[in-house]
Amino acid sequence: MIHIYGIKNCNTVKKALNWLDERKLSYEFHDFKKVGVSEEKLAAWAKQVGWEALVNKKGTTWRTVDPATQQSVIDASSAFPLLMEKTSLIKRPVIEQGDTVLLGFDEGRYEELFH
């Protein structure tokens, strides 16, 4: 089963969902805004992709975080509480397929994983 985590109104998440729908691939969607995310889930993803990759420093939400808090994000233990509080800071979508974790939308990587 494909698990996709994100926020419904995120354009990148919409691209990923459309891509999966066009290929008639079934998936389970986990909405960060409605359900949140656990520290355990963040830790599992970080094992695969690194905690730094989970923090979307290019998004508008990061720019709303005060500079002192931004500077304090130096490792997983400082990043995870912020990511759980402000789930919009998580790079989206997060795709889980078996033991594989993908961040963002990359059509080539999706083709490889879901061939």
Closest Cα partner for 34 from 57, 5, 65, 2? 5
For residue 101, the cross-strand partners are: 96
Per annotation, catalytic residue among 4, 5, 10, 46: 10
Write down how long the chain is.
115
The partner residues of 30 in beta bridges, in order of sequence, read: 5
| Residue 67 appears among annotated catalytic residues | no
113, 40, 64, 10: CA torsion to nearest 10: 30
Residues with a catalytic annotation lie at: 10
